[in-house]
Structure formats: C-alpha cells, structure tokens
Amino acid sequence: MAVRVGVLGATGAVGQRLIQLLEPHPEFEIAALTASESSAGKTYGQAAKWRVNSPIPDDIAEMTVTATEPEAVPDDVDLLFSSLPSSVGAEVEPTFCEDGYVVSSNSSNSRMADDVPLVIPEVNAEHLDLLEVQRDERGWDGALVKNPNCSTITFVPTLAALAEFGLETVHVATLQAVSGAGYDGVTSMEIIDNAIPYIGSEEDKLETESRKLLGEFDGASLTHDEVEVAASCNRIPTIDGHLENVWVETEDPLSVEDAKTAMREYPSLDLRSSPDQFIHVFDDPDRPQPRMDRTLGDGMAIAAGGHRESTFGLQYNCLSHNTIRGAAGASVLNGELLLENGYL
C-alpha cells in the first residue's frame, strides 16, 4: 500500500517539481495539497500556474488546495513534503510535527538546529537517527528532516568522495540558475546579459551546511566536520542547473586520477529515486555544462569534471539540477529513506 503524502507549498516552483516526481511514484500517493490563503479553496489547476516540463496530471488539477495548517490535512496522511518560504516553514512545520506528521522539508529554517537531521542519503544517511533525539527532546509524534540548500547539495557529495584524503580547506564559487530563486525571484531585466555576484545568505549556507553534512553522529549528538569552507555565490542566466568551481586542499596527497576514481566509485543507494551512477566524472575538460548535463540520472546525479592540480590544491567543477537533486528530488529521496528506516 502506498504511503499517503501531502505537499506544503504545492503551487510554487519546488512544489510543482514535487508533484511531477510524486504523481507517478509507486510508494507514495498524493492526498493533500496546501498553499497560502489566496490559493486555499481553489482547485490546483486554478491555483497553480503550472510551468514544469510535463502536463499537469488531471487528477491533481482537480484536487482542492487547502490552507497550510494541520486541521486542513487528512489524518491518514503520514508524510508531508514541504516547499514553503522559510519564514512560513519556521512557523508551521513544527505544528505539523506536533500533530504527528513526518515532514521532509526543503525550506532553510531549522536546517542547522542540533536535533534536526540535514540529510543527503548517499552522504550521511546515518544522521537520520537524530530523529530519536528530536522526538525525545521535543515530545513530537511526528518528525522533521531537512535537505540542504541546492548549491550545498551540488558540491558536498564530491567532498564526501574525497574525505578519505583528509579535507582541510575548500573554496567554492557558484554559478547558479535563475530557477533557484523561485518564479518571482529574479526579473528578466535583472538577469539577461548579466551576472549577479550576490545571493542573500547563500554563502553562509554552503559554509555551514557542508560541515554539518560531513559531521559525525555518535547516536546522541552530532559533531560538525572541521573542514574550512569559503564560498562565493553568483546568479547567472541559465534556467536550471547550478555549476560550481571547487578547490580542495587535503592532508594526504591527492592526484587528479585519485580524485576522479574516488568520485566515480562513490556509491549510489538502492532507494527508488537513486541514480544508477551517483557522480558522473567527465574526462572532457569543458564538461559538465548546465544545459547538457543537468538531467543526468533523471536530474538526480551529480556531475564533475575539469580536474586539475592547482596552487590551491585539487581544482574541479561540479553540477547538479537545482530543482530536482537540489530541492524536490532531494526531499523525495529523504522520504524514501524515512520509509526504508521505518519512520513511516
């Protein structure tokens, strides 16, 4: 029997991707769609300006959107995927968890809380058991798990692949697609023929979330990794796919071939949305590129290439699809991990 799920913030850019991934998903059945008061009471077809690259499913278009509050969601829904603005998520996600719902969330609120697991399943699936601590401390029947920021998800798997060499310092510069800002985030007059070297709070997210993801969970508490990370974030006029330039200094010597092998051999998982090959490594120095490589592994893979030795350690580029692997797909994968680990 499929688990009944809901989407909080279902009408937005990430909410639509969630519906695109969940509607055909054999383990999940969409049973609730929520959004703001201005959408509540409308059919989903009326409330959402559908913009993803597949037709809106008929049964979803006819569902009624409700307000984002626990009373509006049926009791037999077990799992909620949240793609709310973070200020709204901060207010309402805990109320759903108190009411017994398990929430797999994209929003940035609570990502760095000590008792909230921040998870990329291939990197730190064991952090999910922090939910036992969370339930003890908060007295929740439900639970809250987060996926990281879209640009964090792009480079952390490549760091995890290199961790055996002893990570010391990481510098990362991002070239981020406009969809990462949501539909109303960046106007065409701002971004066409341009690049914007500022994305509010983004650098801090890469610098802190990466250390939490690479940290150690001992069954009671989480210690963040000590790797030093410095980030610089830029918005560029691509639609989807965040490209990042990374420099990594390690304790042990790290050659180009060692790095490529470690990335190629870094394992994927057996979860339903896992890509067969988690990190695709290109030998061609001008790949990966957003338009050509963002849909590798149905948008769930990470791509890396351009490896070279530099003055500041090993240099390479990496890429992922920001609204699939970096947002909706990341939440769905965490939902699959919750199911596999008996949290639903």
Ligand X SMILES: NC(=O)c1ccc[n+]([C@@H]2O[C@H](COP(=O)([O-])OP(=O)(O)OC[C@H]3O[C@@H](n4cnc5c(N)ncnc54)[C@H](OP(=O)(O)O)[C@@H]3O)[C@@H](O)[C@H]2O)c1
Binding site for ligand X (CB under 6 A): 9-15, 35-36, 38-39, 68, 83-86, 88, 106-108, 150, 179-180, 182-183, 322-323, 326-327
233 noted as active-site residue: no
150 noted as active-site residue: yes
Q: Residue 62 or residue 265: which is nearer to ligand X going by CB?
A: 62
All residues at 6 or more sequence positions from 264 whose CB lies less than 8 Å from its CB, including other chains: 279, 281
Q: How many helices, marked H, and strands, marked E, lie in the chain? A: 12, 14
- Over the Cα atoms of the chain, what is R_g? 19
Smallest distance, ligand X to C-beta of residue 13, A: 4
Smallest distance, ligand X to C-beta of residue 322, A: 4
Q: Residue 260 or residue 321: which is nearer to ligand X going by CB?
A: 321
Q: Residue 4 or residue 146: which is nearer to ligand X going by CB?
A: 146
- Give the residues across from 80 on adjacent strands: 6, 103
Do residues 237 and 178 lie in contact, with contact meaning Cβ atoms separated by under 8 Å?
yes
d(CA 70, CA 285): 50
Q: Residue 174 or residue 323: which is nearer to ligand X going by CB?
A: 323
Do residues 157 and 123 lie in contact, with contact meaning Cβ atoms separated by under 8 Å?
yes
Smallest distance, ligand X to C-beta of residue 245, A: 20
d(CA 186, CA 20): 23
Catalytic residue among 97, 127, 150, 318: 150
Candidates 293, 331, 305; CA nearest to 158 is 305
Smallest distance, ligand X to C-beta of residue 117, A: 17
Catalytic residue among 242, 280, 307, 321: 242
Annotated catalytic sites, by residue?
A: 150, 242
